[in-house]
């Protein structure tokens, strides 16, 4: 028995040896693997439960701000009950809309002309051009019923974001059915659509910036910079189209209706609220901003954004309630890809109270269809029925098969574009005149007012929505660190309460120096762009600087991925905020943290900004003295240069595979709404004196090298201020390509 056990043990010894050897071998391999450097992951929010969706931080924070304003407004409206309450509210809303939209221009001659007529059985189509402003042309097709006695009701159909506008087959079906039922229909091209392309480029025979929504955002940014919404132009075209309709002897001015789908529903809400001549309104799947839309699908394009409307307590509900008790049919679909059904239902529920109080309960109808973002047959039938009922048109509302024309056959101009046929003015030209007056006012203030710089700072603080972040609650939260040769690179976040956190890479030299000068680094490509070994940041660290590379909200790791590129800046505009103001606050929050860092000399904190991130850095330094000097690499020269040129390219994102149809996305992350009403970038730079500022490689409106004339123009005022304060040498204007290390040395150490 013992012998048998010994044999078994003897046989098992090699196996134990293999296992033991294997364990020993694996252990050695693991040790070797541990000694290998990890591939660097520079994302701060890696494996972080609380901040697990950094791409949503900015939009979420902005949405919460807007929602607070909407909730305040809703609380006030909830107290209304009597007819007097609602009439007082209507007057208040009219006053606020006047403030938001601004005064409309004087009505000038429309100078309408018919460029062609299509005659068909039972109706004709008149191709019409009129002037909404002098020299500003609007194209449209007027469907006129034949063999109708007396004056007929007329419908204005403002079109959604179809690039082909009313030439789209669906719109032709609607227009045909309305005219065959005895109503005149005027379908017009909105700005940026159909023949009304604003940035027409003969090289591509289309817009140089892209299709309708992109064009809306493009010229919308001009308007925001001057302190108003481009919705004004859509509204004015609608009002002037109604002017044309009521000027005709065959139109009954007491029976005017209006409808539009999607973007056209947005414009229908505006015009029908502001023009009392609209007796019947049918907005379909509108995009006007409200609380629920922001919470779900995010802000829409520029004309759907009324400047500071959330701040002033105005939402789409007010537009509908302003019509009470006139007939209004609100149409929405159940599975809209772009808009929010919950918001539409809540708007209807609130508006119903106004209609009930003003004896118009039956005049407000909400019609919901099981559909995606589309005008299905049931919706179209309801449009016909509602118009016929409230405009007193007899007959059968059922849809009949329509005669559809090739799109080119409905062109009003021979070339298919107003720009290539008539030229004339575009929204850029109209806004340019507004901006010129604003810029002239700024220049007058510079020369006449001793307190100009104080006014600039005060207005910039107000318009940018800047919030002072200083305080002991600003702390660095570490989430990893890498050791590199001669320095460490820490991954940190600065938590701004429960709203968001700011990711920072902190580069600290391994030396025995007790206190270091520090540099804040802002690159629009993100904090990681210059963080590789051998890069510009490492060069500064090896010179003895602590460097904090930061992603302010909307940049790099916290880039907005929750909505399209424009949604964050447009949400900010609703609430009286701005992306430069937010990023300036983020930057000063970091400066506050650095000023209390045990290894940083708080008297020697500089900042380097690159390209469009120079803008929030300029705001930050203007509002707070923690940043002692600036190096601005490729700073845009001015807002003036953008407003005065129709082909700006700041805020552009190239869309891969977009082709000529959708080559770019356009945002307003660089702008502050209403800035040109009070100041420009050169004024903000002047407020930084006597601290040191370097402007190296200034950029023009296309984010290309500015010419000397532009540089001289846009540095003249800050140069004069630095000179007046006897610190002329503290403002350096350098060409592109200057050594960054030398510039930082000069700003912090005075080395020439």
User: What distance in Å separates the CA atoms of residue 738 and residue 399, rounded to the nearest whole number?
Assistant: 70
Q: What is the DSSP string of 493-508?
A: EEEETTTEEEEEEEEE
Tokens of 579: 């992306």
* CA-wise closest residue to 479 among 557, 376, 539: 557
Helix, strand and coil in the chain, % to nearest 5? 45, 20, 35
Query: Angle at the Cα of 543 (from 537 to 544), degrees rounded to 5?
Result: 95
pLDDT for position 470? 80
Q: Compute the average pLDDT of residues 668-677.
A: 98
pLDDT for position 517? 98
CB half-sphere exposure, 285, CA atoms < 13 A: 25
pLDDT of 5 over the 70 cut: no
Return all residues near 575 (Cβ < 8 A) that are at least 6 apart.
62, 65, 66, 69, 308, 310, 311, 465
Q: Which CATH number fits domain 80-103+113-142+151-191+230-396: 3.40.630.30, 3.30.750.200, 3.40.50.1820, 3.40.50.1100?
A: 3.40.50.1820
Q: Compute the average pLDDT of residues 452-466.
A: 98
pLDDT for position 750? 66
pLDDT for position 472? 67
* CA-wise closest residue to 160 among 289, 266, 232, 317: 266
How big is the chain, counted in residues? 752
pLDDT for position 150? 92
pLDDT for position 465? 98
Q: How confident is the model at residue 471 (pLDDT cuts 50, 70, 90)?
A: confident
Query: Angle at the Cα of 471 (from 467 to 473), degrees rounded to 5?
Result: 110
The region of weakest confidence among 98-102, 236-240, 398-402, 405-409 is 98-102
Tokens of 102: 């601004």
Please tell me whether residue 195 adopts helix, strand or coil conformation. coil
Q: How confident is the model at residue 35 (pLDDT cuts 50, 70, 90)?
A: low
pLDDT for position 512? 87
0.75 exceeded by pTM: yes
Q: Compute the average pLDDT of residues 619-644.
A: 98
pLDDT of 606 over the 90 cut: yes
pLDDT for position 449? 87
CB half-sphere exposure, 163, CA atoms < 13 A: 15
Angle at which helices 452-464 and 427-448 cross, to 10°: 140
User: What distance in Å separates the CA atoms of residue 116 and residue 750, rounded to the nearest whole number?
Assistant: 73
Backbone dihedral angles phi then psi of residue 644, each to the nearest 5 degrees: -95, 0
User: What distance in Å separates the CA atoms of residue 49 and residue 52, rounded to the nearest whole number?
Assistant: 5
The strand pairing partners of 282, in sequence order, are: 259
pLDDT of 155 over the 70 cut: yes
pLDDT for position 521? 98
Instruction: Give the percent of the chain with pLDDT over 70.
Output: 95
pLDDT of 554 over the 70 cut: yes
pLDDT for position 64? 97
Architecture of domain 443-749: 3-Layer(aba) Sandwich (3.40)
The strand pairing partners of 138, in sequence order, are: 130
pLDDT tens-digit series, residues 209-225: 999 999 999 999 999 99
pLDDT tens-digit series, residues 472-490: 688 999 999 999 999 999 9
pLDDT of 6 over the 70 cut: no
User: What distance in Å separates the CA atoms of residue 233 and residue 315, rounded to the nearest whole number?
Assistant: 19
Q: How far is CA 330 from CA 202, 287, 333, 530, 633, in A?
A: 40, 12, 10, 52, 51
Q: Compute the average pLDDT of residues 607-612.
A: 98
- Sign of torsion over alpha carbons 420, 421, 427, 433: positive
Return the domain boundaries, the chain: 80-103+113-142+151-191+230-396, 443-749
Q: How many helices (H) and strands (E) does the chain have?
A: 22, 22
Q: Compute the average pLDDT of residues 415-424.
A: 96
pLDDT tens-digit series, residues 562-583: 999 999 999 999 999 999 999 9
The strand pairing partners of 230, in sequence order, are: none
Q: Compute the average pLDDT of residues 359-369.
A: 97
CB half-sphere exposure, 674, CA atoms < 13 A: 25
- Strands in 546-550's sheet, in edge-to-edge order, are 476-484, 487-496, 500-509, 546-550, 516-522, 600-610, 629-633, 692-696, 731-734
User: What distance in Å separates the CA atoms of residue 46 and residue 479, rounded to the nearest whole number?
Assistant: 8
pLDDT tens-digit series, residues 492-523: 999 998 889 999 999 999 998 999 999 999 99
Instruction: Give the percent of the chain with pLDDT over 90.
Output: 91
pLDDT of 21 over the 80 cut: no
pLDDT for position 17? 44
pLDDT tens-digit series, residues 326-349: 999 999 999 999 999 999 999 999
pLDDT tens-digit series, residues 282-327: 999 999 989 999 999 999 999 999 999 999 999 999 999 999 999 9
Q: Judge if 80-103+113-142+151-191+230-396 and 443-749 fold alike in CATH terms.
A: yes
pLDDT for position 283? 98
pLDDT for position 14? 44
User: What distance in Å separates the CA atoms of residue 578 and residue 639, rounded to the nearest whole number?
Assistant: 15
Average pLDDT, the chain: 94
Q: How far is CA 58 from CA 64, 306, 338, 670, in A?
A: 10, 20, 20, 15
pLDDT of 725 over the 60 cut: yes
Cβ atoms of residues 512 and 535 within 8 Å = no
Distance, C-alpha 426 to centroid of its chain: 21
Q: How far is CA 257 from CA 522, 615, 713, in A?
A: 53, 46, 51
Q: Compute the average pLDDT of residues 695-715.
A: 98
pLDDT tens-digit series, residues 353-363: 999 999 999 99
pLDDT for position 39? 87
pLDDT for position 188? 98
């Amino acid at each position: 028995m013992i012998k048998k056990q010994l044999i078994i043990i003897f046989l098992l010894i090699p196996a134990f040896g293999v296992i033991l050897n294997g364990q020993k071998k694996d252990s050695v391999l693991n040790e070797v693997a541990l000694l290998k450097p990890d591939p660097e992951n520079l994302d701060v929010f890696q494996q972080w439960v609380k901040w697990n969706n950094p791409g949503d931080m900015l939009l979420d924070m902005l949405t919460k701000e807007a929602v607070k304003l909407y909730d305040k407004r809703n609380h006030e409206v909830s107290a209304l009950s009597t007819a007097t309450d609602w009439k007082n509210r209507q007057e208040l809303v009219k006053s606020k809309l006047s403030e938001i939209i601004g005064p409309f221009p004087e009505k000038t001659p429309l100078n309408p002309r018919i460029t062609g007529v299509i005659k068909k059985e039972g109706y004709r189509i008149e191709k019409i051009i009129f002037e909404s402003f002098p020299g500003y042309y609007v194209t449209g097709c007027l469907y006129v019923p034949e063999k109708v006695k007396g004056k007929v009701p007329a419908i204005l159909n403002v079109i959604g974001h179809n690039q082909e506008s009313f030439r789209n087959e669906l719109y032709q079906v609607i227009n045909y059915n309305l005219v065959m039922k005895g109503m005149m229909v005027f379908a017009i091209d909105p700005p940026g659509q159909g023949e009304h392309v604003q940035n027409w480029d003969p090289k591509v025979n289309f817009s140089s910036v892209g299709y309708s929504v992109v064009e809306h955002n493009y010229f919308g940014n001009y308007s925001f910079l001057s302190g108003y919404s481009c919705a004004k132009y859509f509204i004015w075209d609608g009002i002037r189209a109604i002017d044309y309709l009521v000027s005709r002897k065959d139109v009954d001015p007491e029976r005017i209706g209006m409808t539009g789908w999607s973007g056209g529903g947005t414009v229908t809400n505006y015009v029908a609220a502001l023009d009392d001549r609209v007796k019947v309104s049918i907005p379909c799947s509108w995009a006007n901003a409200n609380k629920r839309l922001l919470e779900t699908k995010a802000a829409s394009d520029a004309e759907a954004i009324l400047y500071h409307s959330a701040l002033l307590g105005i939402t789409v509900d007010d537009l509908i309630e302003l019509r009470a008790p006139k007939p209004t049919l609100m149409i929405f679909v159940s599975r809209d890809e772009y808009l929010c059904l919950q918001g539409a239902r809540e708007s209807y529920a609130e508006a119903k109270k106004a209609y009930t109080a003003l004896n118009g309960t039956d005049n407000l109808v909400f019609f919901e269809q099981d559909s995606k973002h589309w005008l299905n047959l049931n919706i179209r039938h309801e449009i016909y029925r509602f118009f016929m009922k409230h405009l007193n048109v007899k007959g059968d509302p059922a849809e009949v098969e329509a005669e559809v024309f090739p799109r080119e056959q409905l062109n009003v101009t021979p070339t298919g574009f107003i720009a290539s046929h008539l030229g004339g003015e575009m929204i850029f030209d109209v806004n340019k005149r507004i901006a010129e007056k604003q810029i002239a006012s700024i220049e007058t203030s510079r020369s006449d007012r001793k307190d100009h710089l104080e006014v600039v700072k005060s207005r910039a603080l107000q318009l940018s929505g800047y919030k002072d972040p200083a305080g002991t609650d600003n702390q660095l939260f570490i989430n990893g660190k890498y050791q590199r040769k001669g320095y460490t690179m820490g991954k940190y976040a600065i938590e701004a309460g429960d709203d968001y956190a700011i990711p920072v890479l902190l580069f600290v030299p391994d030396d025995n120096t007790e206190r270091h000068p520090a540099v804040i680094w802002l690159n629009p490509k993100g904090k990681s762009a210059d963080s590789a070994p051998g890069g510009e940041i490492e060069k500064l660290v090896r010179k003895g600087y602590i460097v904090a590379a930061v992603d302010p909200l909307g940049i790099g790791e916290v880039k907005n991925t929750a909505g399209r590129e424009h949604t964050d800046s447009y949400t900010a505009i609703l609430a009286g905020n701005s992306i430069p103001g937010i990023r300036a606050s983020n930057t000063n929050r970091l400066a506050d943290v650095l000023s209390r860092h045990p290894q940083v000399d708080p008297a020697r904190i500089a900042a380097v900004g690159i390209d469009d991130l120079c803008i929030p850095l300029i705001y930050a330094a203007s509002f707070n003295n923690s940043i002692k000097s600036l190096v601005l690499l490729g700073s845009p020269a001015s807002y003036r240069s953008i407003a005065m040129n129709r082909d700006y390219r700041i805020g552009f994102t190239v869309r891969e595979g977009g082709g000529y149809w959708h080559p770019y996305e356009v945002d307003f992350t660089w702008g502050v709404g209403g800035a040109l009403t009070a100041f420009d970038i050169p004024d903000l730079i002047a407020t930084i004196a006597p601290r040191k500022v370097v402007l190296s490689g200034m950029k023009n409106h296309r984010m290309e090298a500015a010419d000397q004339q532009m540089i001289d123009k846009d540095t003249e005022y800050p140069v004069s201020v630095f000179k007046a304060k006897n610190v002329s040498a503290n403002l350096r204007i350098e060409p592109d390509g200057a050594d960054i290390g030398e510039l930082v040395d000069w700003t912090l150490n005075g080395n020439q």
